[in-house]
Amino acid sequence: MVNKKPLTLKRILLCCVMLYLQQGYTQDVEPRRWSSIPLGVNVIAAGYAYTSGDVFFDPVLGAEDVIYTGNGFVAGYIRPFRLGNKLARVDVLLPFSFSRWEGLLDGVAESANRTGFGDPRVRLSLNLTGPPPTGPKELQEYLTANPVYTTFGVSCSLTLPFGQYSNAFLLNLGSNRFVIRPQIGMVHYWGPWSYELTSSVVFFTKNTDFFNGGELKQKALFALQTHLIRQFKKRFWASISAGYNQGASSIVNQQFNDDRRANFLGAASVGTSFAGKQGLKLAYVYSKTLKDVGATTNTVLLSWSIVFK
């Protein structure tokens, strides 16, 4: 929805809502987040996601019946390594998106399309307990000898402002700011079952080149996600997930906006491995705003991965 009028507080608030919707890192639910990966291997992955849903605004903003649709592609890379006597890993994520917004703005039909790269993410993770840093054979021996165990882990991710961005547009695929996300989590294994719990805080740096040369600040976002996972025979697994996040109220040009978000997320995933070292995952994610403003979306994700030395 392209702005054709001078910058006003009304349009600034509209922009902040849209920016919040665009940031996928607030919406992720990631089962098997703390799984141990043996040393000496690399993992590459590719995925496709289709997202659609309704965007809700304060009535005074004049935006109605807004629908978002997005086709997203992502490429990823994971490399485990030894950090002291602990198992660590680094992963890199690069998104590409075809996004469209359409609806009524002051009663007039408007739409906007954006195609390009989003902001890439780099994450460093460290497992504090659980299997030691070993090769594939030793890891399998540990899992066989320890059918019940718990892993605690910490991580920190950095989202880099390299995605498509222009201060001439209200809607962008990149955010033109760094995003820092520390996490702490655990996973408890018992036989074919595992339970995960992860908490996060998302910090945003300033966007000093906001729309029409303005400045955007955003308060921290707090997030929690949990997963129950079942490993089946023949290399199949399935999970159910839930998440909650709140916060991220914004300040534009020193003007505080009472636009704090709260969202519930539910998800279901199934996965399988085949051909020795390849994997497929199919997931559905439902996100519902718990405020009068926000977005309610449905996402279907299909991803592929391969392990190699």
Q: Who wins on pLDDT, 61 or 97?
A: 97
Span 122-177, pLDDT tens digits? 999 999 999 999 999 999 999 999 999 999 999 999 999 999 999 888 778 999 99
Q: Nearest 5 degrees, angle CA 200-CA 160-CA 303?
A: 70
pLDDT, tens digit, 9 for 90 and up, residues 219-260: 999 999 999 999 998 789 999 999 999 988 888 888 887 778
The structural domains of the chain, ordered by start, are 9-308 (2.40.128.130)
In this predicted structure, what is the pLDDT of residue 4? 42
pLDDT at 299 exceeding the cut of 80:
yes
What pLDDT, on the 0 to 100 scale, is given for residue 27? 57
Looking at residue 5, what is its pLDDT?
42
CA nearest neighbour of 153 among 121, 195, 185, 181: 185
R_g of the chain, CA atoms, integer Å: 21
- Find tokens 């707090």 and name the residue: 222
What's the average model confidence in pLDDT over 87-93?
96
pLDDT at 41 over 90: yes
DSSP 137-172: HHHHHHHHH-SEEEEEEEEEEEE-S-S---TT-S--
pLDDT, position 22: 44
pLDDT at 295: 87
pLDDT score for 58: 66
pLDDT band at 61 (very low <50, low <70, confident <90, very high): low
pLDDT for the residue numbered 103: 87
Residue 265 has pLDDT above 80, yes or no: yes
Q: What is the pTM of this model?
A: 0.88
- Among 18-32, 127-141, 195-209, the minimum mean pLDDT is found in 18-32
